[in-house]
Amino acid sequence: MHTSFVSLSALLSAALGAATPREAPRCIESLIPITASATNFDLSSGSAPPNATIPVSGTFPIQLRLCAPTTPASLRSKTLQVLIPGATFNTDYWDMSFEPETYNYVRFAAANGYWTLNMARLGDGGSARPDGNTIVQIPFGVAVVSEIVKLARAGSLFGTLGGIEKVVVIGHSLGAVILNGVVETVPSSIDGAVFAGFSHTFGPTNVAVAEWGPASEIVPERFAGLPPAYLTSLNATTRAAALYGAPGTFDPAALEWDEERKDTIANGELLTFAGAVPVAAPSFTGDVFMINGDQDGVFCSKPGCANLADEAQFYAGARSVEFNVISGVGHCLNLQFGAPKVYAAIQEWLNKHGY
């Protein structure tokens, strides 16, 4: 009796996500050539015109890290979570080496029984960096992610991954802008869409406070030789002002860790993302979850991020649209003290909707 009680409670705590410590999952890291086409904007004037008119297509290697569950959970292992990082973040964002017991979402998801496909955007991390003005724009980035999701669902990205029945995509910031474009253009490929650090309206923080400059000049030790269209934030102070909550909401060591690993945003992404933010996705019929910190100055347009309550209008065909505002957290949710609350809220939503 005693033995069976222990094993049952162990099973239950695993199923409820209480399993600790969080071991690193087994992962396969690959550069997979992805072929996509889209209509990009003509940025020759230095800004985006109202409509996209330039057809682009190509095949580019994309960095994809597939990680296996560390806790068996038979139903959850049929759900794949695809993770997209925001501007100047890469695969580290969802899979941080800094205090991974606290901040690492990939480990959290693996401990809860899920496969994750953690990716770098085109022009970011280990992915290809083609022309940062003409190619790396939001429309083409949307096409690349759409293709990845389609291949992942079909089980044809990695030979080892079959039997995926549900796909949940989680995008942060610019990654959420891209996800919004994916659910607009190929609405049937995704079951659940989680938008983290995003909304369809802008808050008071202009992302320009990050003081973008050429990554090759700001971080020559890692980005020497990159064309000037690849940008990054100026320094830790401007980065924190744009992306973090108030002092006290994050560990300064986490900011330092992030500053040492910060990645790029392409000028083409920077010039085309604002136009992509207001886009509605009425044909998406899956579940939508919006999660922001209440100190997200980029996307909280009402006090306390109450604007998330207005988001359902953009997903008129969705099965469900829900939101959660985490207090004491700024824009880059994963790097702040509130990260575990963010992960718990996402898990609660996954549970509620049977993922």
Ligand X SMILES: *[C@@H]1O[C@H](CO)[C@@H](O)[C@H](O)[C@H]1NC(C)=O
Residues in contact with ligand X by the rule CB under 6 A: 50-51, 211, 234-238
Q: What is the DSSP secondary structure assignment for residue 70, as one 8-state letter?
A: S
β-strands 115-119, 230-232 pairing: unpaired
| Helix H or strand E segment including 347 | helix 339-352
Radius of gyration of the chain (CA): 19
- In this structure, how many other beta carbons lie within 10 angstroms of the beta carbon of residue 229? 24
Name the residue nearer to ligand X (CB basis): 184 or 294: 184
In angstroms, what is the minimal distance from the CB of 335 to ligand X?
A: 18
Distance between CA atoms of 275 and 77, rounded to whole angstroms? 36
In angstroms, what is the minimal distance from the CB of 180 to ligand X?
A: 18
**Conformation bin of residue 97: beta by default, left when phi > 0, alpha when psi is -120 to 50:** alpha
Name the residue nearer to ligand X (CB basis): 234 or 277: 234
Please report where in the chains the tokens 């991974």 appear, as a residue: 100
41 phi/psi in degrees, rounded to 5: -95, 150
Distance of CA 227 to the CA centre of its chain: 25
What is the CB-side half-sphere exposure of residue 109 using CA atoms within 13 A?
31
In angstroms, what is the minimal distance from the CB of 17 to ligand X?
A: 38
* CB-count burial class (<10 Å; 0-12, 13-18, 19+) for 262: buried
In angstroms, what is the minimal distance from the CB of 185 to ligand X?
A: 15
Name the residue nearer to ligand X (CB basis): 52 or 350: 52
In angstroms, what is the minimal distance from the CB of 25 to ligand X?
A: 36
Name the residue nearer to ligand X (CB basis): 27 or 280: 280
Omega before 187 within 30 of 0, i.e. cis: no
Name the residue nearer to ligand X (CB basis): 49 or 228: 49
In angstroms, what is the minimal distance from the CB of 235 to ligand X?
A: 4
Name the residue nearer to ligand X (CB basis): 52 or 182: 52
